[in-house]
Amino acid sequence: MAGRIVRRLSLVLVLATAPVWADVSKPRITPPQPSWSQLNPEQKRILAPLAEEWNGMEHHRRQKWLDIARRYPQLSPEEQARMQRRMRSWHAMPPEDKEKVRSQYREFKQLPPEKKQAVKAQWERYDQLPEEEKLRLKQKSEAKSAPSERILPARP
């Protein structure tokens, strides 16, 4: 009897920890998430930009988007539209890039309001630049021997 319990227990442990060895950046245990056809009409309306990708998505991504969809009704109409416009490109971004953006955004959110406002104003000005000027700046950035890959200066 004892042998049987030990065998069962080790099987449970192996199955439960298998994803840990596979990829540490992903959550190890995610409950199964609904397919597109199982979503309710409200969720489908909010997540419409992801309709095509949904069924091919890993469960932890689906869970994250469902969590985002729950926050959606509290947004202003303008924010809702902006969120939906950005959903596809955000989902399509490679995970490593997303991680970089997230870590920089965490730092950005901690800046004092006037600094945040300054970065936003700079972005607006940059966004209005002619394409040739943007290209020049891009080439300048890439020509540097050791590109920092950061928008914000590293904190001490």
Partner 1 sequence: MNETPLIASLRRHLDEGAAQLPQATLERLYQARQHALAAHRRQQAHRAPARQAWLRPALATLTLAAGIGLTAMYLHDQEELSAIAALDAALLVDDLPPRAFTDPGFRAWLEESSEG
Nearest Cα to Cα of residue 48 among 95, 78, 94, 80: 80
Q: Which is nearer to partner 1, 55 or 120 (CB)?
A: 120
Could you say whether residue 89 binds partner 1 (CB under 8 A)? yes
Give the CB-side neighbour count of residue 139, counting CA atoms within 13 A.
6
Could you say whether residue 114 binds partner 1 (CB under 8 A)? no
| Beta carbons within 10 angstroms of residue 151's beta carbon | 14
Could you say whether residue 128 binds partner 1 (CB under 8 A)? no
Residues 93 and 96: their CA atoms lie apart, in Å, by 8
Give the CB-side neighbour count of residue 86, counting CA atoms within 13 A.
9
Nearest Cα to Cα of residue 68 among 37, 82, 29: 82
Residues 131 and 137: their CA atoms lie apart, in Å, by 10
Using CB under 8 A, pick the residue from 12, 18, 48, 51 that binds partner 1: 12
End-to-end C-alpha distance for the chain, whole angstroms:
59
Select the span of 28-36, 38-46, 50-58 touching partner 1 (CB under 8 A): 28-36
Q: Which is nearer to partner 1, 67 or 114 (CB)?
A: 67
Select the span of 39-47, 50-58, 86-94 touching partner 1 (CB under 8 A): 86-94
Using CB under 8 A, pick the residue from 7, 93, 110, 115 that binds partner 1: 93
Contact positions vs partner 1 (CB under 8 A): 2, 5-6, 9, 12-13, 16, 27-30, 60, 63-65, 67-68, 71, 75, 79, 82-83, 86-87, 89-90, 93, 97, 100-102, 104-106, 108-109, 119-120, 122-123, 125-126, 129, 134-135, 137-138, 140-142, 147-148, 150-151
